[in-house]
Structure 1
Amino acid sequence: MDEGISRLPERQLLEHRDFIGLDYPSLYLCKPKRGVKRDESKETYKLPHRLIEKKRRDRINECIAQLKDLLPEHLKLTTLGHLEKAVVLELTLKHLKALTALTEQQHQKIIALQNGKGPRGTP
């Protein structure tokens, strides 16, 4: 049994020596080619990607500016000075919810009037 244990490291060294100095071109040639292609494609990808991202940001900023213009003045005055993009979006949501609630109330009043009932449920 002692012989088996002492042979194991020697056997591993022999196996390792069998591989030293061997050339494996098929294993090593693939990686550099992929790296070169990635670097080249990354450079060609960066410029259009930057332009696309800039256009996307410009569109978002333009839409936020339009939303800001559509907000009623009393909502704009609730903030101090410059309206940040997030504030514009929050105020827009608040205003839309208020308009939706008002529309629903008016719709209910119209239905009540069409059914011959008064605004408080009396004819």
Structure 2
Amino acid sequence: MIRNCSKMRGIVIESISLHVSQEALESCQTRVYKLELQQQHQQQTVQLESPDARVLLGKSINIMLAIITVILVCVSTVAKFAAPLMKSRYHMVATLLGVCFLTVFWKNWDRLQYAIDRMLMPE
């Protein structure tokens, strides 16, 4: 009888451990299945967004290149304009004096305008 109880306990323990193992295996399989579904969904989302992202990236690169081109054209124009003014020392001094004169003229524009108005319209 004791042997039978011992055998039955062994069988019960084996069946319980088998049942627990099966539940753990099913749980793992369910998790793996959910992860696979999630990965497939993410791949489909990336595939749908990928062409839009590429088009957007291409357009933004083209815009940046256009802006850089405009900046380079402006710098080139300024350099071509300034090059003759810097040929010799006399050119550089004349350019510096001209820039100083224009700066003073710009800063005192209101006073100059008032003086010209008084000269043209005497009271």
Scaled by the length of structure 2, the TM-score of the pair is 0.46
Higher helix content, 1 or 2:
2
The higher radius of gyration belongs to 2
Scaled by the length of structure 1, the TM-score of the pair is 0.46
